Amino acid sequence: MLITLTTDFGYQDPFVGVMKGVIFGINPHADVIDLNHGISPQDVMAAAISLRHSVRYFPQGTIHVAIVDPGVGGERRPLLIESAGNYFIGPDNGVFSFALEDQQPDRIICLSDSKYHLQPTSMTFHGRDIFAPVAAHLSLGVPAKEFGESAESFRRLLWPKVVRQTNCLKGEIVYVDGFGNLFTNIGKEDLREFPSEKLSVTVGTIEITGLAPNYAAGTGGGYIALFNSWDFLEISLYKDNAQRRSQAKPGDKVYVWFNR
C-alpha cells in the first residue's frame, strides 16, 4: 500500500525523514513516496491544487498524507477521509478540497483515538506524532473507523470560478511552478465553444495571440499560452522564467479574448 507525503517542510530539516522513521518503525514494508515537500510555508491552497492533479496518477488504495498545517495543536481537527478507494490524512483545513472536488467521501474520521498517536504528542508536529503513525497503521490494515469518531463533513476551499463576460473569459493565476510557468484556472472545457485560432490572452500588460501546441513553439521568443499537463491554460516563456520576467503572481487576473 503506497503512502504519499505532501508537506511545506522543504528540504532543509529532518522533519520529513523523521516521519518516514515513524512509518517504517510501525510498518517496515511501507512504500513511501515524496509527492511534494516544496509547498510554500502555510500555503494550503497551493497544496490543495498540487494534490488535485496528482491523486489520479496513483493506484487506487493509495494513502495520501498532506501536512500544510499552520493550525497544528489548535482547534482544527486531524482527519482521515476515505473516498473512491483512496485515503487522505491531514488537518481539516481544506488541503484535500480539490483532490475530492466532485466526491462525496465514504467515510470521514476524526483522528481522536490517541492509541494510534505517538506519546507524548507534541503541539507543533502532528505530522510526526499523529499523521505518520496513523498512515502506517492504516497501511497495515487497521480499519479506518478504528482511528476515531465519524465526522459529518470536512472543510472545502472555494475554487476560483472563471467568469464569462461579453467577449472574454476572466480567470486568474492559481499556481506558479518551479520553471516560472503561470498556471491559470481556465480549463480546456471553458474554451470548448470558441475557435482557438482567434483567441488572445492578456495578463497585466502581456498580450499573447493564439494558443501554442507546446513549449518549443515559443522558440521565437515572447510569451506563449498553451494548455499544460494539468489541462490548465498556462503562460510560459521558452527556456525562460515567465514569473520572474513578468512578476505576475497567484491571484492576478487573466483574460481570454475572442475576436478582439
Cell of 136: 502506517
Alpha carbon distance 204, 136 (integer Å): 47
Nearer to a second copy among residue 232 and residue 255 (C-beta)? 232
All three cell numbers of 37: 515537500
Q: What is the Cα–Cα distance from 84 to 52, expressed in whole angstroms?
A: 14
Residue 174 dihedral angles phi and psi, to the nearest 5°: -115, -15
Q: Could you list the residues that contact a second copy (CB under 8 A)?
A: 2, 4, 6, 9-18, 20-22, 24-25, 28, 31, 33-38, 41-42, 50-51, 53-54, 57-59, 62, 70-75, 122-125, 128-129, 177-179, 213-217, 226-229, 238-239, 241
Instruction: Find the shortest distance in angstroms from Cβ 72 to a second copy.
Output: 6
Q: Cβ 242 to a second copy, closest distance in Å?
A: 12
Smallest separation (angstroms) from a second copy to the CB of 3 = 11
Distance in angstroms (rounded) separating the CA atoms of residues 111 and 145: 9
Least Å from the CB of residue 193 to a second copy: 20
Tell me whether residue 53 or residue 107 sits nearer to a second copy (CB atom).
Answer: 53
Q: Indicate the residue among 138 and 211 with the shorter CB distance to a second copy.
A: 211
CA distances (Å), 48 to each of 11, 36, 251, in order? Answer: 20, 11, 15
